[in-house]
Amino acid sequence: VYSHSQLSTYEECPLKYKLCYRDGIKRDTEGVEGFLGNMVHETLKKCYDNVKLTKLSTLDELLTCYHSLWQKNWHDDIVITKKELTPEHYHNLGRKMLEIYYQRHAPFDKDITIGTEMRIRFSLDDGGKYQLQGLIDRLSRTPDGIHHINDYKTSAYLPGQEDIDNDRQLALYQIGIQKKWPDIKEIRLVWHYLAFDRELVSARSAEKLADLAQNTIRLIDEIELAEEFLPQESGLCDWCEYPDLCPNRKHFYTVEALSIIEYLNEPGVVLVNRYAELREKAREIDEETTKVKEALVEYARREGVTVIRGSDRKARVKFDEKLKFPGKSEPGRKELDEAIAKAGKWHDVSQLDTTALTRVIEGGLWDKALIDEVMKYGRIEETNAVYLSKLKEGEE
C-alpha cells in the first residue's frame, strides 16, 4: 500500500525513500515545522469534532487545547533548523494561525463535517494491485451538496493556482472518496493556507483524474522495479532524518560533532582544504603562464629572434601556418560535411564519436538488438571526478 507522501519521497530523493520505506529505518527526530503542523491539525480536529457534537468551542478553549497538546507532545528530538528561531516562535505561529482560522470560520456552520482525520484506502485499478491510503484532514458537505476535501497547510510558502491544480494528494483522495461513495458527483479540493488566511480551491475533471491514476500507476511500477536508489540533493536535505546514511551528507554530519581542533585535523577536511589551495594556485599559475607565453611570442616577433635565452633555459618560439576548417558549430561546417560526403570520401576523414555513442546507448535511443551488438565492445569502467564548490548558506 502506498501513500502520497511515500510517492513524493521517492520523487524527491530515491535514497531517502529506500531508507525510510524499504529498509524501514525509523528516526526519533522530527522537524519543528512538522510538529507545529501536527499540533494545529489536532486542534482543528478537536474543534470540528466538538461542532459535530453541537459544542462550539470558544477561541480561548481552542488555544488552551493547542497549548496543552504542544506541552504534552514536545520532546527533545524536535529539530529547529533555523538557528535564529526558538520553540516559542513556532508555538506563537501556530497560535496565530488558529486565531485567524477561527475568526474566518466560526461558528463553523457553513457546511456539515462528515469526518476529520479520515483514513481512506482504495485501489487505483480494478484488480486491486495498486493500493493507496491517505488521511483527509476534513471531509465536508455544503448545503448545495458539494463535497469539500479540506487540507490544512501550515507551511510558509503559498503556492499558485497552477501548482494546486496539479497537486496530486487531494486529487488522489478524490478518487478514493468517489470509489467509496460513487453517488458523490461534485467535489472541490480546498487547501487552507493558515499562515496566509487564504483558501485555494481546485476541481478535477474525470479525464484529469483518469490521467492521474495512470501516472500514479506508472510511478508505482517504477518504484517496484527500482534497483538503484540514488541520493538526490535538494533544499529538503536540511530536513532529512538520514544525514548519517547519505553519502552526500555523511561527512557534514560527522564533522559537525567535532571540536574546532579535531575538525581542522580531520583527514577529509585537510584534503579538501589542501586541494582547494592547490587548485587556486594552479589557476593563478595558468593565468600567468598564458600571459608570459604571449609576451614571449610578442618579444620574438618584435626583436626578430626565434630563440630567447634565459638563465638556465632557452625558449624556442616557432611561427607556423596551419590549415584550419570550420569547427562543429561554425559557419560553413554543414556545407563542408556535405561536400565530403557527396564525394564519397567521408570514411577517409571521419571516425566514430564514442561520446555520442555512449549518449545513444545510455539513452536507449537505438533498438535493443543493435544496442546488444554494440555493447559486445563496450565495458564499464569506474571513473571519478572531484568538483569543488563554495559551501552554501546553512552548510557553513
Can you give the binding site for ligand SF4, defined by CB under 6 A?
A: 13, 15-16, 231-233, 236-237, 240, 242-243, 246, 248-249
The nearest distance, CB 249 to ligand SF4, in angstroms, is 4
The nearest distance, CB 18 to ligand SF4, in angstroms, is 9
CB atoms inside a 10 Å sphere around CB 372: 10
The nearest distance, CB 240 to ligand SF4, in angstroms, is 3
**C-alpha grid cell, residue 229:** 536508489
Q: How far is CA 366 from the centre of its chain?
A: 30
The nearest distance, CB 322 to ligand SF4, in angstroms, is 48
The nearest distance, CB 391 to ligand SF4, in angstroms, is 15
Cell 494546486 appears where? 164
Question: By C-beta, is 16 or 138 nearer to ligand SF4?
Answer: 16
Longest dimension (CA), the chain: 103
Question: By C-beta, is 233 or 338 nearer to ligand SF4?
Answer: 233
> Which stretch of DSSP H or E encloses residue 139?
strand 131-141
SS3 309: strand
**C-alpha grid cell, residue 164:** 494546486
The nearest distance, CB 395 to ligand SF4, in angstroms, is 12
SS3 76: coil
Question: By C-beta, is 13 or 36 nearer to ligand SF4?
Answer: 13
User: Measured between alpha carbons, how far is 7 from 4 in angstroms, rounded to an integer?
Assistant: 5
The nearest distance, CB 229 to ligand SF4, in angstroms, is 9
User: Measured between alpha carbons, how far is 270 from 251 in angstroms, rounded to an integer?
Assistant: 13
Question: By C-beta, is 7 or 300 nearer to ligand SF4?
Answer: 7
The nearest distance, CB 299 to ligand SF4, in angstroms, is 54
**C-alpha grid cell, residue 31:** 522537524
Which letter does DSSP use for residue 128 in this model? S
Q: How far is CA 99 from CA 60, 63, 95, 183, 306, in A?
A: 9, 8, 6, 36, 85
Question: By C-beta, is 236 or 365 nearer to ligand SF4?
Answer: 236
Question: By C-beta, is 97 or 240 nearer to ligand SF4?
Answer: 240
Compute the Cα dihedral for 70, 76, 238, 218 and give only its sign: negative
Q: Are 160 and 170 in contact (CB under 8 A)?
A: no
The nearest distance, CB 362 to ligand SF4, in angstroms, is 22
Question: By C-beta, is 6 or 248 nearer to ligand SF4?
Answer: 248
Q: Can you give 243-272 as a three-state secondary structure string? A: HHHCCCCHHHHHHHCCCHHHHHHCHHHHHH
Calculated CA dihedral for residues 150, 152, 153, 154, nearest 10 degrees: 170
User: Measured between alpha carbons, how far is 139 from 324 in angstroms, rounded to an integer?
Assistant: 73
Question: By C-beta, is 16 or 192 nearer to ligand SF4?
Answer: 16
Buried b (16+ CB within 10 A) or exposed e, 198-219: eebebebeeeebeebbeebeeb
User: Measured between alpha carbons, how far is 182 from 180 in angstroms, rounded to an integer?
Assistant: 6
Question: By C-beta, is 236 or 264 nearer to ligand SF4?
Answer: 236
The nearest distance, CB 215 to ligand SF4, in angstroms, is 23
Question: By C-beta, is 12 or 99 nearer to ligand SF4?
Answer: 12
